[in-house]
Structure 1
Amino acid sequence: METEVKAKRRHGTKSNKKKREKRKKGEPNLVKPTEHVKKNNRPNYFIGTRFCNPEIVGKILAVQEHVKSQLHFLAKACVPIETTHVTLAVMHLEDDCAVEKASTILQECKHKISNQLENTDFEVKVKDLGHFRHQVLFAKLEEDDNFQKLVEVAQLLQSEFQGFVRERDNFQPHLTILKLSKMRHTGKNKIKKIDSGLYRNFAKLHFGKQSIQSIELLSMVKKKQPDGYYFSESGISIGENSSSNSTWSIDDWAESVAVCCITTALMTHEYNNQSNLNALFADNLATNIINSCLASTTSAAGMEEKLQKFRETIRSQDVSKRIEQEIDLQPPDV
């Protein structure tokens, strides 16, 4: 009996022998259809709307910095703040022809979306943190009338792009802050979930409001725009006073970092000790955060020059004065 088992291990089963014989004859190695679909139909495009209000972006940065200060290797899980957006639909576009067709469909949707929104501008509120199975940390959108409008726009897009989009159950618009899927190759530092204790202080944070001005067809694979946002194939404007796309300036960056410094100070009670209330501390905090942001960018070109511009602009924001106003304290004599 034992020799039979050994023989099977050595020579394999009959089915395995047949496979080997086919390979020797030069017959193609067939792949299961399901495996082929999974490999080739990965999402490479999405329809989204950008969130670039420095108040919202700065507070997202504050959450990321707070989490990283406790577990530094979670820096790899942080989503770049310059890509902050809400995804409305996800799809796989095979070639340029499919991209062109999707762009046309989006442009044709403009009239329907405008009618649905009654040609008015609208803004959504961002407040509180949530998670998907502790794998993704995100900022929630407040579920008011404007939230419902955004959901209805997403449903319309899902319908118009039928055949392109992946159907999504229980659609929940959100702003992703961290996701563990970005840490696939981190080796020993890989963790299974984001502990809620890491962001407990920020769980009920009010992030701010964002005016929804445009909806774009965005590429996950093409080189990002100069300001770090996704490459846009096509876009439509929403409302009367909006444009089809938006860019993020150095001033926006600096304002976001200023907000981050203020939020960090308030939420972590750094300023309970009045001896810390001075411009030097605020400037150091801003510089540390800026350095962290720049270290996570894909291009190192011009980094020193960019950092100097950030420093100059951040000082013009009078970070320490704004912190003092927020927490109603007087600066110490220095």
Structure 2
Amino acid sequence: MKKIIPTHFISIHIDNCEIIANIKQVQNLFVLHDKNLENALIQLEKIHLTLLLLNINANIENRVARIFDFISQEFSPDLSLFRIKLKGLGNFGNKVILLHCDKSDKQNYEMLLRVKSEITLLLLSVGFTFVNDILIAPVDELLDDMLSIKCHVRRDENAFDVDTIQKNFTPHATILKLSKLKGITAKSIKKLDPKIYNEIFDENYEFGEQIVDKIYLSCIFNKKIDKNADCDNEMKSFKIGYFRNLGAITLGKTRVHTGDNIIKRSS
């Protein structure tokens, strides 16, 4: 069976100035320790918290974007703007450095889980399927059928096990990963030493709070696009960095921005 890889993702963008400044300090510590690690850094304008990974064939992107528009109209209006607090550094096998979400902020953390569950439910309701924690888009014919009837979403509250999904969900923002290294450097650096940052940035260090008012559907494999490309007026508040955006759900409203836009983000 052909290996399924994620091509798109649904996420929260991290652009709070305090958080970004703190992340930059951590990244600088690693680069001071070993300049080769500069190539392992996640660009500040690309820091995000992933909610879901998706597999969408490039040929049906535009149709999925329209489906995303339809399901956004079904998004619960009581899921409104909230905050997530990023607190403490962690790692995956000393190969990935990440920021944790503060679970002690129960009200906001619960809202994060509800948003993830709502999006999962709606995507499953329009024909997406789960395979190895990746949501796979339905076949062309099913998408065409949905679009022809304006995609009447039939919510199935039993479509997936909420507890299992949430149990396996570890919300985090990656800021460095060794898999970005290539060639000799990749062979010479197998693991990271937590001592590089532990003395300053421990598990209780508060990086800041991110206001969450939009949830984005974006493409992992970006196209090369002119930085001066015209964008939706609302997207112009983002200044540096690019995601090819297929849509964005505005929390607490039934409005969505769709199209092959560039999300400009500030660092």
Do they superpose with TM above 0.5?
yes
3-state DSSP of counterpart to 1:202? coil
Partner residue, 1:218: 218
1: CA distance, partners of 2:210 / 2:242: 17
Matching residue of 2:72: 110
Out of 12, 26, 32, the residue aligned to residue 63 of structure 1 is: 26
- Change beyond 3 A, Cα 1:124–1:84: same
Give the length in aligned residue pairs.
209
In 1, the alpha carbon distance for the partners of 2:45 and 2:121 equals 29
| C-alpha deviation, 1:222, in angstroms | 2.0
* 2: CA distance, partners of 1:206 / 1:224: 35
Alpha carbons of 1:188 and 1:235: their partners in 2 closer, same or farther (altered >3 Å)?
A: closer
Q: What's the CA shift for 1:101?
A: 3.5
Tell me by how many angstroms 1:125 deviates: 0.8
Cα displacement (A) at 1:116 = 4.6
Q: 1:126 & 1:224 partners in 2: Cα distance?
A: 31
Q: Distance in 1 between matches of 2:182 and 2:129?
A: 27
Q: How many Å apart are 1:50 and its aligned residue?
A: 0.8
User: Deviation of residue 189 (structure 1)?
Assistant: 5.4
Shift of residue 165, structure 1, vs aligned partner: 5.5
CA apart distance, 1:224: 6.2
Cα pair distance change 1:188/1:104, threshold 3 Å: closer
1:82 is the counterpart of 2:45: yes
SS of residue in 1 equivalent to 2:77: helix
**Which amino acid in structure 2 is aligned with residue 131 of structure 1?**
N
From 93, 100, 107, give the equivalent of 1:133: 93
Asked if structure 2 preserves the Cα contact closer than 8 Å seen for 1:224 and 1:230, the reply is no
Alignment of 1:233-252 (within 5 A): 233-239=246-252, 247-249=264-266
Q: Match for residue 245 of structure 2? A: 232
> Where do 1:141-156 residues align within 5 Å?
141-143=101-103, 144-156=106-118
- Measure the CA separation in 1 of the matches of 2:208 and 2:29: 19
Determine the C-alpha separation between the residues in 2 that align with 1:224 and 1:55: 29
| Partner amino acid, structure 1, of 2:264 | T
Give 1:91 deviation, angstroms.
1.3
- C-alpha distance in 2, partners of 1:209/1:224? 31
User: Alignment partner for residue 49 of structure 1, among 4, 9, 12?
Assistant: 12
Does the CA contact (< 8 Å) of 2:88 and 2:99 recur in 1?
yes
Deviation at 1:230, TM superposition (A): 1.4
Which structure has the larger Rg? 1
2:122 is matched with 160
Q: Per residue, is there more helix in 1 or in 2?
A: 1
Distance 1:247 1:223 in 2: 14
Q: Distance in 2 between matches of 1:224 and 1:47?
A: 21
Say if 1:186 and 1:76 are closer, same or farther in 2 by CA, change over 3 A: farther
Q: Distance in 2 between matches of 1:243 and 1:101?
A: 15
The CA deviation at 1:166 is: 4.9
Give 3-state SS (helix, strand or coil) of 1:209's partner: strand
Residue aligning to 2:159: none
- Length-normalised TM-score, structure 1: 0.57
**Matched residues in 2 for 1:189 and 1:137: separation?**
18
Q: CA deviation at 1:96?
A: 2.9
Instruction: Name the SS of the counterpart of 2:72 in structure 1.
Output: helix
Query: Contact (CA 8 Å) 2:87, 2:207: kept in 1 or not?
Result: yes
CA–CA distance in structure 1, aligned partners of residues 32 and 10 of structure 2: 33
SS in 1 for 2:75: helix
- Whether contact under 8 Å (1:77, 1:181) holds in the other structure is yes
Unaligned runs of 5+ in 1: 1-33, 254-334
- Deviation string 1:293-326 (CA, Å, 9 cap, x unpaired) is xxxxxxxxxxxxxxxxxxxxxxxxxxxxxxxxxx
Q: Say whether the 8 Å CA contact 1:89–1:165 is kept in structure 2.
A: no
Shift of 1:167: 4.6
- Give the share of equivalent positions with the same residue, in percent: 28
Instruction: Provide the rounded CA distance (Å) in 1 between the counterparts of 2:65 and 2:208.
Output: 31
* Letter matched to residue 15 of structure 2: C
User: Deviation per CA, 1:152-172, whole angstroms, max 9, x where unpaired?
Assistant: 221222333333555536111
Report the TM-score, using the length of structure 2 for normalisation.
Answer: 0.70
**Higher RCO (CA-CA < 8 Å; seq separation 6+):** 2
- Cα root mean square deviation, aligned: 2.5
